[in-house]
Amino acid sequence: MSLRRLAKEQPANFEISKAALKEIDIWVQKYPEGRQKSALIPALWITQKDAGGWLPEAALRALGDLLDMPYIRVYEVATFYTMFNLEPVGTHHVQLCGTTPCWLRGAGDLKKVCEDKIGPKGSTSHDGQLSWIEVECLGACANAPMVQISNADSDHYYEDLTPESFGKLLDDLVAGKKPEQGPKNGRFTSEPEGGANTLISKGLYSKVTKKALPNAVKKARKKPTKKAAAKKPAAKKKAAPKKPTAKKTAAKKKVKS
């Protein structure tokens, strides 16, 4: 891993906003009393957003005081993870994946676009709108090549890029537009290009029957409401059997005799 240091130029002071403190407290409450240090990583992320996309040293010290941690412990985490920026970044910070799948699919061409529009790796454009770095795998290999772009609003993935679509994406961001996240070649998420081509036969699932699992919770039968009971027709009462008359009884006795 490359050596990561704090920026040479630092602001004189930094104060975490009330909104950020409230959000950090939500994470702190997830842990037992005295274990607030466990919330350091989300606290660093929230503070980075609050500071404009990077972590000045004063912010790290403020978090150390807030979480009752030695400053060095906060520095250790902030300098280890590349998701934490230790120097100022542009309004839109591009993290370009250069790992093998993206490299094989054209990440090298995307790097050239960044160099032409922004400058060398790790630099910020003159207008402060764009900055870029190369990162390790971002977990979207099926949609290579791709980038993650972080700004005040989001940390979206833009996938299936070409030099042309990537250049347009950067231009739109600088122009204040909000490009749609996801694949840029027209496909849906990570489906095959041109649409799904497996498990699409007609009637494939027509013979499948639903079976209740052994541990399935049996649904209790709902008791009929008063309205439903009122709508049901009243059951017909069975007529009581007629008592035989004296004439029929006398006739039966004659037959038996």
Check which CATH number belongs to the domain holding 152 and give it. Answer: 3.40.30.10
Q: Within 10 Å of residue 147's Cβ, how many Cβ atoms?
A: 25
Both tokens of residue 131?
Answer: 């900055």
Q: Answer yes or no: do 65 and 104 share one domain.
A: no
Both tokens of residue 153?
Answer: 């609003």
Helix (H) or strand (E) holding 59: helix 57-66
pLDDT at res. 183: 94
Q: How far apart are CA 187 and CA 182, in angstroms?
A: 9
Q: How far apart are CA 177 and CA 170, in angstroms?
A: 10
Q: How far apart are CA 19 and CA 154, in angstroms?
A: 17
The rounded average pLDDT for each run of 10 residues, N- to C-terminus, in the chain (257 residues) is 79 93 96 93 96 94 95 95 92 95 96 96 94 94 95 92 97 94 91 80 73 74 64 62 62 57
Number of domains in the chain: 2
| Domain that residue 28 falls in | 18-80
Cβ proximity of 158 and 143 under 8 Å:
no
Q: Among 183, 201, 216, where does a domain finish?
A: 183
In a domain, 75, yes or no: yes
Q: How far apart are CA 122 and CA 134, in angstroms?
A: 8
pLDDT at res. 1: 44
In a domain, 235, yes or no: no
In a domain, 198, yes or no: no
In a domain, 243, yes or no: no
In a domain, 230, yes or no: no
Q: Answer yes or no: do 53 and 111 share one domain.
A: no
Cβ proximity of 61 and 71 under 8 Å:
yes
pLDDT at res. 222: 67
Q: Answer yes or no: do 30 and 70 share one domain.
A: yes
In a domain, 114, yes or no: yes
Both tokens of residue 179?
Answer: 């490009």
The reported pTM is: 0.71
Q: Answer yes or no: do 65 and 112 share one domain.
A: no
Q: Answer yes or no: do 98 and 65 share one domain.
A: no
Q: Among 127, 158, 183, where does a domain finish?
A: 183
pLDDT at res. 95: 96
